[in-house]
Copies of this chain bind each other. A is one copy, B any other.
């Protein structure tokens, strides 16, 4: 079984991409609503919460765990990997998005948007710089020799998405405000570093213009798994296949089911549990 967790229902955009590719696997999703939003918590606190979530998913039988939350991936991936030492495998959503951005950028100008927590952690900038020599191959004439990363926290986008105000004029205004510095910096590639943002992808693409490639951390994470399974067939073969899907939430099951259905694109029901 593959287990996903997030502070709410945002991570369902990641699981959705997995379901498209591998519908045969058993899936479990844990939304830690009682402690949402991770984006406004300290690294230390997110570490504690992430470890509790991983522990729950392991006890339920998950053999591969995806941290389907950018803030938790930024703050806590290494922390939980160190605790569990590869058993089970725990993956985040940051590295796949960073790699895809490095492969796709034409001039080396990469933008990242996310919550205060994700942007404040500097994790995307760190990962992008770390993997730049491996994945960034400047071919265009005007491309920079090294990459430049422009980050922008967009704290209002999560509440706007959760209010269903996707096409509202206020959302358009906030997007223009947040994205203006990235446009001025001529970013050619933009990472959506928050699992809520795929719901705004069309609106973001409209503001950024056609020449900018928008990379969703949800899609990037799902794309990276093919390659991962090829390199680790044992992990793939260890995942149970029954096509089951189980949803848990630590608070407000009605809200989880309601918003979760919108994020996943199909009707789901979350069972309330304590961890």
Task: Give the interface of A toward B (CB within 8 A).
Answer: 33-36, 40-42, 45, 155-156, 159-160, 162-163, 169-170, 173-174, 251-252, 255
Q: Which of B159, B173, B255 contacts A169 (CB 8 A)?
A: B173
Give complex CA distance A197, B40 in Å.
20
B155 in contact with A41 (CB, 8 Å): no
Give complex CA distance A119, B160 in Å.
19
Contacts A34-B35, A41-B251, A156-B163 known; list 19 others, CB within 8 Å.
A33-B40, A33-B41, A34-B41, A34-B45, A35-B35, A40-B252, A40-B255, A41-B252, A42-B252, A45-B251, A155-B159, A155-B163, A156-B159, A156-B160, A159-B159, A170-B170, A170-B173, A170-B174, A173-B173
Copies in the complex: 2
Q: How far is the CB of A152 from chain B (nearest CB, A)?
A: 13
A40 in contact with B45 (CB, 8 Å): no
Q: How far is the CB of A169 from chain B (nearest CB, A)?
A: 7
A251 in contact with B174 (CB, 8 Å): no
Residue on B with the closest CB to A250?
B45
Give complex CA distance A41, B252 in Å.
7
Give complex CA distance A36, B159 in Å.
14
Q: Which of chain B's residues have a CB closer than 8 A to the CB of A42?
A: 251-252
Q: Which of chain B's residues have a CB closer than 8 A to the CB of A170?
A: 170, 173-174
Q: Which of chain B's residues have a CB closer than 8 A to the CB of A251?
A: 41-42, 45
Q: How far is the CB of A255 from chain B (nearest CB, A)?
A: 8
Q: How far is the CB of A7 from chain B (nearest CB, A)?
A: 11
Q: Which of chain B's residues have a CB closer than 8 A to the CB of A159?
A: 155-156, 159
Give complex CA distance A40, B249 in Å.
13
Give complex CA distance A155, B163 in Å.
8
Q: How far is the CB of A181 from chain B (nearest CB, A)?
A: 16
Q: Which of chain B's residues have a CB closer than 8 A to the CB of A35?
A: 34-35
Q: Which of chain B's residues have a CB closer than 8 A to the CB of A163?
A: 155-156
Residue on B with the closest CB to A35?
B35
Q: How far is the CB of A6 from chain B (nearest CB, A)?
A: 15
